[in-house]
Amino acid sequence: MAPAFLKELRRRSKASFRSSDNSSNETNGFGIPTPSSSTLNSNSGNGAATPPMLMNSNSASDLTTLPPPTRPAISTSASNRYSVSGMSGLGSPAPQSALPTSPYAPRIVSINDGQCVYQKVLSVQGVIADPSTQAWEGNLTVTRVDDAFPPINWPVCEGYFKALVYLLPGPNRLRFDFTSPKLSNNNTSNPIHSTIITIHMSPSLGAPPLQLVILLAKDSPATFDATPARIEKEGNGLETAIQKFRMAAYLWQAYTAEQMCRNRLGRRVFRTEEEWVTGTSNYRDRKNGTMRSEAKIHVVRCDKTVAEIRDVELAQQNPHGKRRGDLFGIAMEAMRNYFRPSPGQTQYCSVMFLDAHWDKEINLIRGHAAVGGGGSGIALAIFGSHALHSYPSSFEEVVPAFTDCTPTDTDYVANDCNESGSSWEAANIGIGAHLHEVGHLFTCPHEEHGIMLRDYVTLGRSFITREPYSTRTKSKGGLVLMKDECVWHRLDLLRFRSHPCFALPFDGQRHPDDSVQAWPVEKDSVIVTAASGVAFLEIFAEGDTECHYWLEFGDGNGNGPIQKQIPLTIQQLRSRLPEKHKTSKLKVCIKSRAGGNHDIPDFAQLVSKASKIKLPNGRPAFRSSKLGLSEMEGSTPEEVVFHSTIEQTKLLTQVRVYHGNSLDGIEFVYEDSTTQLFGKRGGTPGGSEFNLDTRRGEVITGFYVRSGVWIDGIAIMTSLGRKSPVYGQANGGSGHTLIPPIGYSIAGVTGSCANWVDGFGILITR
């Protein structure tokens, strides 16, 4: 029999349990208030509203009620914001302390505790208390709990802060400490106004990297323009250039990932190739020789001399020059020789010409060009080093770099376009304009505003809370909030979402077919199809050079299901435009989820009678939008309506394709030996034959076409799921899949031919 005192203890335990179980939602078993889900902030439990564009609120269902503990309750809030009672010298309690939360603990509004990101450097923004009632000035210290990166200080201005955080793969436990001369327990060894969060970092190793390249002339001294004071302080050699360029790339990543998040597109961002080197992103690593995996800066020497590089591109800035574009060609050749991309592979390269030089005598930057674009196997952005002297080379230098009002001394360095009259403005233009060219590398055109216009002159606002005096605007500066920052345009971010460099680990296998097609059908409608899904389309009114109107479609990431077939009418598109454009000519550019593009130069013409034909049996048929430009000399239109479409008893048994390095012609052979020829019988004598299995009812259901200016190659697709080899150049141009929309079948082919086929489409009918 159990002793009496054990029975009494059991009875007390049960009573305590029943008491707790019957208590209200307001308190737990110890009378300590239990926060309700209606008042909890998803970030830190302080009750402040969370901007919907910045955060993904945690569901209240994630909060569970636990049985009362047998010892005082331990805080389980999403982030640990804590303080002590104000007794000087006590220092901060352990993270699991149940002491009251400090009202001055940093409140992070740009990311939730426990979230996952995919890049090394994270941009974090937040507030201290309520800035509208208490405009605190002070200092924010960001510390890794494991001390794997040194503490970095960031200013708090009028209650707002912005910080950059260096992340390592896996969980990163971070503490944010606020200190101010106006608060008690300030400047103690253990600050008491603190917030702790955990951020998980998972590098997106499945995406191709953006290669960072410093390009040197073959006789380059490997130095860049800087004032004597700068040279004495930090040097202007290759090692310093690498540190500064690396830090600029980290800023690009942090800024872009935050912009993607604000637009509800996930924290997508491009990655960089990395190497195991002595860390350069903080002073402690340099002093101690700490090894880290850092962004790799490729140092490449080209076959040109310094004199040739500095002379060749004067045309970029001189309208009377005769060699415009040569620096881009020099960089392109150097990148092909260095990276040697395999067939079908693309290397994405952001190149800095270190030998760019400010020539005061002619008032030009020599050896510099700001260009971005692509070629076969290389997507390229180039820029000069003339503003590199103003870049930060480490985390400790970010705020000083974007607040340094030192006047630009044009005896030694450039005042680019007279918009960088001070050091911080030079940093904005150098880092921002190079990012603009990286945008072109990632297929972005110029936009109506944002980085892809010239808003990058305020790029630094994303990393500081107080902007200094501007020589460009003659304004004294002041507090800069989220709304004052420059942005990537929404259309740029939609392009990034579909770009292979922005793929995330959970995206799964990228769809191999990125093509988009537009099919005119009945009732003046167009059906848009894309095997990977239709992402968005841009609408250009007549005279527009930038896009002002667009339509977005579901993306399968919580923003609606992927749509692979979408009907469009001209009335639907014009309803998006202001009254002055209701009757103008419309150009429509359609983008697929896998990054493909299809342009319709004149939407009204596509749905007009010009796209419709009447078959001999009286049925209507429709011409698809055409691949190839049909602009070769002597190009003439051609069209073939299949005999088998008109006469059901006539069997198409074979397709004979004539080709060399491009498509010369296609011949359709029937059971009775009659044929129909589209194009010419050129290329390889006799052509290549593809037979259909008519015993099993096999028919042509589509074509896979490689095209650019003309038709490089073609493959036949059938109802049995078979696909022929690509006849012609299998890697020429870009790939397009021509399969009629649901409810339609192929009735023939259409296009044009000169010396070889330079335009191709198909006829469809119900």
Q: What is the pLDDT of residues 138-170, one digit of tens each?
A: 999 999 999 999 999 999 999 999 999 999 999
| Mean local confidence (pLDDT), 541-564 | 83
47 versus 640: the higher-pLDDT residue is 640
Could you say which architecture CATH assigns to the domain 514-606? Sandwich (2.60)
Rounded distance, CA 680 to CA 665, Å? 5
Give the C-alpha separation, 534 to 516, whole Å: 8
For position 715, what pLDDT does the model report? 97
Q: How far apart are CA 699 and CA 670, in angstroms?
A: 12
- Domain 612-765 classified CATH 2.60.40.10? no
Region 668-675: mean pLDDT is 95
Tell me: pLDDT of 500 over 60.
yes
pLDDT at 736 over 50: yes
Residue 95 has pLDDT above 90, yes or no: no
Q: What confidence tier does 584 reach under pLDDT thresholds 50, 70, 90?
A: confident
Handedness of CA 575, 580, 585, 586 (dihedral sign): negative
pLDDT at 37: 31
Instruction: State CA 252 to chain mean position distance.
Output: 10
For residue 312, the model assigns a pLDDT of 80
Residue 171 has pLDDT above 70, yes or no: yes
Confidence at 313, pLDDT banded by 50, 70, 90: low
Query: Cα-flanking dihedrals φ and ψ of residue 478, to 5°?
Result: 145, -165
Counting residues of the chain whose pLDDT is more than 70, the rounded percentage is 84
Lowest mean pLDDT among 133-137, 323-327, 731-735: 323-327
Mean pLDDT of 55-69: 36
Q: How far apart are CA 445 and CA 449, in angstroms?
A: 11
Q: Which range (38-52, 429-443, 633-647, 669-683) has the least confidence?
A: 38-52
Residue 33 has pLDDT above 50, yes or no: no
**Can you say whether the dihedral through the CA atoms of 280, 282, 285, 287 is positive or negative?**
positive
The answer to whether the CB of 570 falls within 8 A of the CB of 605 is no
Catalytic residues, by residue number, are: 437
pLDDT band at 285 (very low <50, low <70, confident <90, very high): very high
Can you tell me the mean pLDDT for 710-728?
96
732 pLDDT more than 90:
no
Average pLDDT in the 446-475 region? 96
Mean pLDDT (the chain, rounded): 86
Q: For residue 34, what pLDDT band results from cuts at 50, 70 and 90?
A: very low
Which pLDDT score, from 0 to 100, does residue 648 have?
82
Residue 388 pLDDT > 80, yes or no?
Answer: yes
Query: In the predicted model, what is the mean pLDDT of residues 8-31?
Result: 39
The per-residue pLDDT for 554 is 80
Its pTM stands at 0.84
pLDDT value at residue 53: 36
pLDDT for 72 beyond 80? no
Average pLDDT (314-338) is: 74
As a whole number, mean pLDDT of residues 175-192 equals 79
Domain boundaries, the chain: 211-312+386-500, 514-606, 612-765
Q: State the DSSP H helix or E strand holding residue 442, giving kind and residue range, or none if neither.
A: none
Between 584 and 758, whose confidence is greater? Answer: 758
Find all residues with CB under 8 Å of 597, minimum gap 6, and list them: 516, 589, 590, 591
Dihedrals phi, psi of 759, to nearest 5 degrees: -160, 140
Residue 3: pLDDT band (50, 70, 90) is low
DSSP 581: G
pLDDT in tens, 365-387: 999 999 999 877 999 999 999 99
Does residue 479 carry a pLDDT above 50? yes
Return the higher-pLDDT residue of 283 and 318: 283
In this prediction, residues 461-465 reach a mean pLDDT of 98
Q: Which residues contact 41 (CB under 8 A, 6 or more apart)?
A: 47, 48, 49, 50, 107
Q: Tell me what the mean pLDDT of segment 644-673 comes to.
A: 94
Backbone torsions φ then ψ of 527, nearest 5 degrees: -105, 120
For position 557, what pLDDT does the model report?
56
